[in-house]
Amino acid sequence: MTQWITTREAWAHVIPYELDKARTKIFAKLIEGELLAWAEHYTFDNAEHRNAEMPQAFWHVQWTRLDFAFGKATRAVFDCFASIDERGERIIRQHSSDSATGIRIDRNALLAFWPPIPETISIGATT
């Protein structure tokens, strides 16, 4: 059974290893599919999900922002090419706007990359 920890706990655990890059390193693992995430609620590709594992495709470096302190993410997908309107102004169309709340990270996968530091870091386990 997977044990899920908050994004805040995950970030706090990785700090001793990656002081300046902890958030970036965790986010990279989510993008690569090496870390799994679960959310209390998320929307993705016009569908709503509750208490479910999030798809790897949700995490895209150009479109997604993750707030580790509050376990929230937003994802906005835009056209790669802007069109020009009749006034000569660029128009960039947004295809979707997804969000997630109550995000948790797979504790065991996290510990595979950043094992516990004896007697200094203790991350809780929640289900």
Supply the DSSP symbol for 109.
H
Please state, in angstroms and rounded to a whole number, the distance separating the CA atoms of residues 124 and 126: 7
Proportion of the chain above pLDDT 90, given as a percent: 57
Q: Give me the pLDDT at residue 19, please.
A: 85
* The dihedral sign for the CA sequence 44, 74, 66, 91: positive
Each residue's pLDDT tens digit, 27-73: 999 999 999 999 999 999 889 999 999 999 999 867 788 999 999 99
Report helix, strand or coil for 23: helix
pTM over 0.75: yes
Question: Where residue 120 falls among pLDDT bands split at 50, 70, 90?
Answer: low
Please state, in angstroms and rounded to a whole number, the distance separating the CA atoms of residues 91 and 110: 41
> Distance between alpha carbon 15 and the CA centroid of its chain, in Å?
17
